[in-house]
Structure 1
Amino acid sequence: MGLWGRRRRRTPGRATLDRGAERADVAHLEQFVASRRGVEGYVEPRTAVTETTIVLVAADGEWTRRRIDGPETARRLSRELGIPVYDAQVTGYPQRMRDWKK
């Protein structure tokens, strides 16, 4: 196997060095929404290093980030979970996320 043999293109266009979303990622997001109040979603774009991700932020500022199979999937999942979703590049992140401490 050559140096770049493991790095396959998942979709036309640029490849990333990251894995895609798995069922465990979606299950974690579902559990996060079910166990917290006031959750909002923030979609982060695909980069050269990571696939598309979604950050969920609860009313108290607690947050979690997981991979997702593209912005359309993030929006569909948000509709199914009944939470608002925003484009992180456009809106930025809420202050409560930056203020949150474990």
Structure 2
Amino acid sequence: MGVFDSLRKKRKSGSGQVRTASKQDTTHLDEWASSRRGVEAFVEPRTHVTETTVLLVAHDGEWTRRRISSADAAFEFAKKRSMPIYEVERVGYPKRMREYQARQKRERG
């Protein structure tokens, strides 16, 4: 048995497949956005590891990320909620998000 045989076997058996967006993902995004203020959306492109995702960032930098079916679906999600939306590949991640993560890390120890 070769080094990569077990990986090929997993790929053929269907395990390790990328999970697609679900209704629970959209519900989470809705609930999260409605309970915070100043929320903006950032679309993250599909990769080899994950499907397209939408990142929501609140005014203070708190954030959440969930899968979404496509970039178009992310733009529609934001439009329905009158939420600004950006493409991460074009604008990058917001500074307030990085600052929030740094604060959380300091507070934990």
For the aligned residues, what is the CA RMSD? 1.6
For 2:62, the equivalent position in structure 1 comes to 62
Give the length in aligned residue pairs: 93
Deviation at 1:17, TM superposition (A): 3.2
Query: What secondary structure sits across from 2:41 in the alignment?
Result: strand
Alignment of 1:8-23 (within 5 A): 17-23=17-23
Contact 1:55 1:63 in 2 (8 A): yes
Q: Which runs of 5+ in 1 are unaligned?
A: 8-15
- Cα displacement string for residues 51-87 of structure 1 (whole angstroms, at most 9, x for unaligned residues): 0001000001000000000100000000111101000
- Bigger Rg, which one: 2
Shift of 1:47: 0.5
User: Which structure 2 segments of 5+ residues have no match?
Assistant: 1-7, 105-109
Give matches, 1:1-102, under 5 Å: 3=9, 4-6=12-14, 17-100=17-100, 101-102=103-104
Runs ≥4 residues deviating over 6 A: none
Hey, which of these two has a bigger chunk of helix by percent? 2
Tell me the residue number matched to 1:10.
none
CA distance in 2, matches of 1:24, 1:81: 17
- The answer to whether the 8 Å contact 1:18/1:51 transfers is yes
What secondary structure, in the 3-state scheme, does the structure 1 residue paired with 2:13 have?
Answer: coil
Q: Which residue of 2 aligns with 1:11?
A: none
TM-score by length of 1: 0.85
SS in 1 for 2:66: strand
